Amino acid sequence: MGYQYTAIGDSLTTGFGALPGNGFVPVYRRMAEGRLRTTVASTNLGVNGMTTSELEQRLRGNSMMREAVREADIITVSIGGNDLIHAAKSAARQQGNLSAELRRSLQECKQNFSAIMNILIQLKARTRSPFIIRIVGLYNPYPQVVGATEWVRQFNQYAAQYSSRVCGFASIYSEFAGNERGLLSIDHLHPNGRGYRVIAEKLDALGYGGLN
């Protein structure tokens, strides 16, 4: 028996900010093994700094990633945080209208995310064996930036709409809000080991559908 787990996304998927083995992907994989009572092999295709646009392009054109998704029984997606970061930095550089920049980036981010989910569903369409997709929600990396909280809230609300029999949304916003000091690494942007464990626990709590 045994299951295949493919993780796609940004630096949260790579586990940036935590010691090796302490990112949410390896922690969640170990939790899944315990719950499913069999081996779970993982393929981590996370890329630091990846945006929704870049992930969409890679899912369309990278044959290795497409094959890893096709073969996966468990898929996790963490994406969107860098879209917010880019928008906030762009507005700061240009000294422009932050709210306008955030609105524009949120709209693009939603469109890209929709395309990502459609591609995943298309890639899995001919799969006969059961599978699950898990979306990692966003916390706010910029609680001090006006408008960032609303950006994250709206993105999470949009991504959560993809919840279905096979797709689950792991909401982590409230766990991180106000607890940034304890859950973020020294860069105040990425989770530390404790933060990644929180993410893994939220994913694990969604269960494993029909896999077992």
Active site residues: 11, 187, 190
* Percent of the chain that is helix, strand, coil (3-state, to 5): 50, 15, 35
Task: Give one word for 117, left, alpha or beta, with left for phi > 0 and alpha for psi -120 to 50.
Answer: alpha
- What gap in Å lies between CA 54 and CA 161, rounded to an integer? 22
41 phi, psi to nearest 5 deg = -95, 135
φ and ψ at residue 144, rounded to 5 degrees: -85, -10
Tokens read off for 1: 């028996």
Q: The tokens 């809230």 sit on which residue?
A: 153
Token match 């949410």: residue?
Answer: 24
d(CA 100, CA 91): 9
Report the run of H or E that residue 39 belongs to, with start and end: none
The rounded distance, in Å, linking the Cα atoms of 19 and 58 is: 27
